[in-house]
Structures are given as C-alpha cells and as structure tokens.
Structure 1
Amino acid sequence: MITAIIQARLNSSRLNKKILLKIENKNLLEHLFSQLSYSTHIDKKIIATTINKIDDEIENFAKLQNITFFRGNPLDVLDRYYRCAKFFNLETIVRISGDAPLIDPSIVDKTIEYYKKNNFDYVSNFFNRSYPIGTEIEIFSFKTLEKCWMNAKKSSEKEHVTPFIYNNPELFKIGHIEYKKNISHLHWTVDQIEDFKFVELIFKKIKKRPILMDNILELLENEPELLEINKN
C-alpha cells in the first residue's frame, strides 16, 4: 500500500494560516487533496500536523472532510513522520508539502512507478532539481524512514524528513526523476501572499481538472506576464 503523508501546519512566519486560504470556495488543502485524488497509485492520504493548539483547525478540517490525520512534534518533522507511519503501519510513504496545491498527480505517479520498478530506497524529483518549486514529491519505504529516524543526530536532519538521506547517499539506493529541461526557477508553492495570488489565477484560468504541469506551462507561455506576480 502506498500512502501520501501531507505535512501541514498553520503557524507560518511568512503567511499565517496560508493552507486554509480559499480559492473558489475551497481552501488550499482541499485543492491539494483534489489534485492527489487523480493519482492512480496513491491508496491512502494522511495529514500530519502538529500538537500545537493553533493546528486544532487542521484537525477540525480533517474530521469535517473525513480525512485521516496525525498530530506530532512541531519542530522534529522527521519524528512526526516516523510516528505517523508507525502508528498507521505504513509500508511505502509519499511525502508532500501542504503548501503545494498545484501538485501534479501525473508527476506523482511517474515518480511512484520509477520507485517500484527499480526497487529504490528513496526517489524524488528534486534531489537534482529541475521541476518547478511546488511540484516536489519524495517516496521511500518505512524501513528507509526508520533508518533516518534512528540515525539522524543533527537538528537540521530532524527539521525536515529526509536530509539524512541527502547527507548519507552511500547508505541508500537513491533514484532521481528529472524534467527534460531545468525549470526549477518557477515558484508554484504558496509561501507569500504574491504566491497565493499567482496560484489563485492559475486555478481560475485553467478550468480542466486535474491541473497538470503542462497545462500551467502552456498558460505561462501564452500569458508570460503572470510570471511577474510572484517573481520575487
């Protein structure tokens, strides 16, 4: 079974409660889950949020939407992921950030297929970055996650889920998914209000669902002025 764990919290220093901002009557988390629903390989989706009081809103949202959730360490995200995966007895984990409402399910499926076909410990599409920021996906086994959790010592290896893998590539069988050209300068994740305005326009201008990376690239080619919205 392949499970997507979406890490999400509301206490963002740059844009507070950004994942609950709404576009066309759906918040960003709803849009993200809608995009992921088109994946043919993801069997289950879980929100991994924190035990902080502010994230009660995420728990309430998950309950309202009938989405499985887990609450864990606010600062040690590796620990949160590990305990979530252990609690639900997960086998294969896909990591996705909650501020990426334009996640492309076709890229998700391509990455999963590559992982399964080659028996990797870990595969991502940003180890050697070429895809737009906001389309990132990582996939790894529970065994790989547990290895990170048991051996990570630096705080920088615990603030995020997989830095221990980047720092110790000789310990893992790692695979990379790369795009045909480097377009990693494109910023589609929601970090600032300008990013939200950009993403909002994408959802309004592209009516087809799911929204794929190629749809956005075509729109930007026809309307390059959209890139000015969040260029900084």
Structure 2
Amino acid sequence: MNDYEDKNIATIIACRLKSTRLPRKALLKIGDLTSVEYCIKNTLRFNNVKTTVLATSTINEDAELANYIYSPEVNFFQGEPEDVMQRYVDVVNKFNIDVFVRVTADMPFVSDEILQVLLKSHFDTKADYTIGIKAAIGTNLEIISSEALRKAKSFFPNADYSEYMSFYFTNNPSHFKLNRIELPPNLVREYRLTLDYEEDLILFNIIDEHLTKNNIEPTLGNLFHFLDANPEIAKINQSLIVKYKDDKTLIDTLNRVTKIPV
C-alpha cells in the first residue's frame, strides 16, 4: 500500500475550442480520435488516479466538447472561461479532490511513466506543487495539492493569466513547497509533443500510424524509441516556438503579475 491510496487523486484536463494558431485544435484528428480524446485516452492509463475531469468553459462553443469525453468514466465540467484557476478550484470542490494532475488537452502523449515518478515524490516530500525537469515539451505533468490551489487563488481574485497556472506557484517559493524532480534519463528528450501548429499534427499522425500499424503500446518509452530511430521525422516540428518559453514580453508579464505581494 502506498501513502496515497486513500486520497482522491484526479486528472483535470483543461480544454477550450478557441485557438488562434490552430483553430478548434481539440477536435482535429490524430488517427481515429480527436486530439482531445487521444489525450483523455492516455490519461485513463494513469495508475492511482480515481477521478478524471474534462474542464472547459461555460461559453456556448465549448459545450460541444461534451461529445468528446471518450469514455463514460470521464466527468464533463463547464466553468470560468478565462480564470482557469477558478475553474480548477470549482472542479476540486465539486468532486472532493485532494490532489490533482494538471493536464491540457493539447498534450496527447501524456504518460503514466512520468506520472508515477512525480506522484511518489509529491507525497514523499509532502509538496504543494511538483513538476518534472527536462521532459519533452507536451509530456511533463504537474501535481498540485487542492489546498495549495485554494491558497493560491485566495491571493488572486482575478487570475487573468492562469492559463499559465504553474507561474502562480513557481514564482512564490516562500508560500508553497515546490518540488522539482529530475526525471530518469529514459523519460527525458528534447522532442516537441504539444499540439499548436499544423506540423505538430502531421508528426502526431505519423507517430499514431506507427504505433497502431505495429500494435505497439503507446508508452512514452515506445514513442521515444520510434523518434530516436527516425530523427528526420522528429525534426518535422522542431523549429516551432513555445510561447511561454520564447516570448520574452509574455514571460516578463507573467513574472510580474503572478507574484504574491509582500
């Protein structure tokens, strides 16, 4: 028995249909599934997770996502459109969640391998916030305690930038116990596995075709094995930027507005 068997650990997947770079990307197909269903399918492989929630907004357009929850195991929730942190607070309160895995629907290749490393460390260290280091873009996960989320929200009645929720924790180390984990080398790569551009979608369909055609289990290890062996395929989307890493103006803004006042 582990230390968290009695906890209600949840996966909360944030998803909206608005997207400036790749419109309605959550409904674009990777193989036979929409990208949001592909993401959900992989989250349902997570061990030690009791509750899964697809959390979108109350805007009419986003109601369509109720048709793409993949499995009746998944709860559909509509909440605050822009204040994502408030949406998460409402989810953890409604479902009595103790700790949650934060996922966004543009991460189709999330893996249980990374989750188990982070989850064990989160509870071993009694952390508020846990994240891996050097994970491939789109494969990293965040583990957040619900009490820490409520505390963070209490400082930011209007968390206008909480689409970038991690900054509200990582910029406030005196308020939260932060836990950054060095991932095992087999789970670390420099690949880009998040869905923002057409090139990402092309790559993901090539990956899915390989896994499906060869009846290969969609583990991160198997995915990396394929990309390691086919560097020309891995390069399809390598030149694309990651907004929260490459946009200096945005980063400066986030660092300013997410710090709890002294």
- TM-score normalised over the length of structure 1: 0.90
Which residue, out of 179, 183, 187, partners 1:175? 179
The answer to whether the Cα contact below 8 Å between 2:170 and 2:178 also exists between their aligned partners in 1 is: no
Contact kept? 1:6, 1:46, Cα under 8 Å: yes
Q: Report the counterpart of residue 142 of structure 2 in structure 1.
A: 138
Is the 8 Å Cα contact of residues 100 and 188 (structure 1) preserved in structure 2?
yes
Q: How far 1:153 sits from its partner (Å)?
A: 6.0
The TM-score, its normalising length taken from structure 2, stands at 0.80
Q: Distance in 2 between matches of 1:134 and 1:37?
A: 17
Moved more, 52-61 or 152-161: 152-161
Name 1:88's counterpart in structure 2. 95
Amino acid at match of 1:202: I
How much does 1:167 deviate? 1.3
Query: Which among 57, 65, 69 is matched to residue 64 of structure 2?
Result: 57
Deviations 1:114-166 (A, max 9, x none): 112221111011xxx40101112111111100011101267565343332211
Structure 1 residue aligned with 2:11: 4
- 1:202: which partner in 2? 207
User: 2:82 — aligned with what?
Assistant: 75
Matches within 5 A, 1:34-53: 34-53=41-60
**Contact 1:78–1:160 at 8 Å: present in 2 too?**
no
Matched-pair contact (CA < 8 Å) for 1:122–1:139: yes
Matched, 1:103 2:110: yes
Alpha-carbon distance in 2 for matches of 1:228, 1:57: 34
Deviation at 1:65, TM superposition (A): 3.6
Between 1:84-93 and 1:206-215, the stretch displaced more is: 206-215
Structure 1: tracts of 5 or more residues without a match? none
Taking a change above 3 Å as real, the CA distance of residues 158 and 40 of structure 1, as seen in their structure-2 partners, is closer
Give deviations 1:61-119, integer Å, cap 9, x for gaps: 33x74220111111111111111111222111110111111111111122111112221
Q: Is the 8 A contact 1:48 1:70 kept in 2?
A: yes
Residues in 2 aligned to 1:57 and 1:196: alpha-carbon distance in whole angstroms: 21
Q: In structure 2, what is the Cα distance between the partners aligned to 1:216 and 1:38?
A: 15
1:114 aligned residue: 121
The alignment partner of 1:229 has SS state of helix
- How far apart in 2 are the matches of 1:119 and 1:70? 28
| Secondary structure of residue in 2 paired with 1:102 | coil
CA distance, structure 1, for counterparts of residue 64 and residue 161 of structure 2: 28
CA distance in 2, matches of 1:106, 1:185: 17
Give the C-alpha shift of residue 221 in structure 1.
Answer: 2.0
Aligned-pair RMSD on alpha carbons?
Answer: 2.0
